[in-house]
Amino acid sequence: HWVFEVNKFIPSKFLKPLQYVGIPYERERLRHHVKHYNFIVASYDIVRKDIDFFSSIKWNYCILDEGHVIKNGKTKVFKAIKQIVANHRLILSGTPIQNNVLELWSLFDFLMPGLLGTERQFTARYSRPILAARDAKATPHQLQAGALACEALHRQVLPFLLRRVKEDVLKELPPKITQDYYCELSPLQRRLYEDLSKEHMPQGITSHHTHVFQALHYLQNVCNHPKLVLTAEHPEARAIAARLQDHHSSLDDIHHAAKLPALKQLLLDCGIGTPASDVEPEAVVSQHRALVFCQLKKMLDIVEQDLLKRHLPAVTYLRLDGSVPPHQRHAIVTRFNNDVSIDLLLLTTAVGGLGLNLTGADTVIFVEHDWNPMKDLQAMDRAHRIGQKKVVNVYRLITRDTLEEKIMGLQKFKLLTANTVISSENAAMETMGTDQLLDLFNLSSSNCAPQQTSQQSAAGPSGMKSVLETLPDLWDDKQYEEEYDMTNFIKGLNKMST
């Protein structure tokens, strides 16, 4: 993407870009040609792998696009980037703070080492007082200390932050409208949700058989599709499959997952998927085109196989996920933007949420949601950016009275956290006790969900704030796979039910 944009806007006599990609053998050949270029583009992962080469060159500028990638000072990527020698360092990010102020220390430790002290000094001077002030039981002294620490940090970093929001610099950009599209759990989803939340969790949350965060992830998967949890290891898998077969049904039927019929109706309402014979000639010109985001590749598979291929065969689509090699992704993006006959682009948030220009779409649909609001914001802004000529409508499919409504509330909380340092406003933040944590597993009808099917977003109930504050990067699916084995958790349901 960067090479394309540089070639588009800057004459080669000023900048000659080289895309440093490929397998190790190909990259080794490229190293001999680097001296003929003055603008090298490489991914964070490639830089990490070839850091001996990159650290051997004295660069004039080292620019980190989506620089919040180095927010964790303990990662291999951060340690590699720190080895790069450059006269000038610059971070580009729409979301410099995603979870807590300690992330800011990591960014400035790259930009200006020592400005904010060591990590330990930063924690003692800023993080600890601010965190203590967020406790619901904070004393007046702690509240005052937290406010002073936040103000001091704000003053120290503000001279080095150049903040530009779209409303200030892109006044011609059409508006972006975000709407929550509520749907009810299917009977099967409700049973799976209630079986865990009402029977297992109160007794199992503190036992060695399970882990609270695995359980939250399990409930999140139930909200998306029963297939994601009804694996061969699930104690109810065979019984449920037999019961469905008796009713001439299967998990492939979309009515067993609330979001699939909702997504189907939403696409049809947008004029996507309607047979050509049923479409008025004048409607074809104004037809919407959409991006459909899922967190999990498995959920993207379900949308493609169970919904699009079986129920909406008229829909034309492309797909972009982790299985697509990085060097092929730009071609898919270009084809989607240029070919108006393609209705949809299916994406995983991890792959499609950063660094892409997808202004060919004017509709963005989130089937799944990230605990970190910045990731969803980055994803929806793939369409809402320079070059967009239409109003962008963003739809978030949410199962009513479930964990997902609490995620939406948490997202708004996280946005306030990000604004604490970047803006001059400081937000009060609450923590939660064990009873509040247990409440996350309940199907609650008292949540502030709107009654109509689709309406403007509303803040969900507060909760889970201290959990995500202390574990800011927990809800990354790759980390889940590495840290928490969902298969073992599902097997553990057998033990919990005996």
Burial of residue 452 (CB within 10 Å: 0-12, 13-18, 19+) is exposed
Closest listed residue to residue 489, CA positions, set 186, 257, 199, 200 = 200
The pair of structure tokens assigned to 405 is: 């409504």
Q: Which residue has the tokens 């209630």?
A: 194
Q: Which residues contact 475 (CB under 8 A, 6 or more apart)?
A: 217, 370, 371, 372, 468
pLDDT tens per residue, range 229-263: 988 888 888 889 899 888 889 999 999 999 999 99
Q: Which residues contact 77 (CB under 8 A, 6 or more apart)?
A: 44, 45, 47, 48, 69, 70
User: Is the Cβ–Cβ distance between 351 and 378 less than 8 Å?
Assistant: no
**pLDDT number for residue 457:** 36
Amino acid at 3: V
Compute the distance between CA of residue 136 and CA of residue 473 in angstroms, rounded to an integer. Answer: 23
Compute the distance between CA of residue 124 and CA of residue 129 in angstroms, rounded to an integer. Answer: 7
**pLDDT number for residue 234:** 85
User: Is the Cβ–Cβ distance between 380 and 347 less than 8 Å?
Assistant: no
Q: Which residues of the chain have pLDDT under 50?
A: 202-210, 282-286, 424-441, 445-484, 498
Compute the distance between CA of residue 41 and CA of residue 489 in angstroms, rounded to an integer. Answer: 41
**pLDDT number for residue 447:** 42
**pLDDT number for residue 150:** 83
Compute the distance between CA of residue 417 and CA of residue 131 in angstroms, rounded to an integer. Answer: 11
**pLDDT number for residue 285:** 45
User: Is the Cβ–Cβ distance between 81 and 59 less than 8 Å?
Assistant: no
Distances (CA, A) of 331 to 1, 249, 339: 10, 40, 12
User: Is the Cβ–Cβ distance between 261 and 254 less than 8 Å?
Assistant: yes
The pair of structure tokens assigned to 107 is: 């960014």
Compute the distance between CA of residue 442 and CA of residue 146 in angstroms, rounded to an integer. Answer: 33
Q: Which residues contact 55 (CB under 8 A, 6 or more apart)?
A: 83, 84, 85
- Ordered structural domains, the chain, with CATH: 42-162 (3.40.50.10810), 176-496 (3.40.50.300)
**pLDDT number for residue 163:** 75
Closest listed residue to residue 468, CA positions, set 276, 213, 175, 228 = 213
pLDDT tens per residue, range 52-87: 999 999 999 999 998 888 988 889 999 999 999 999
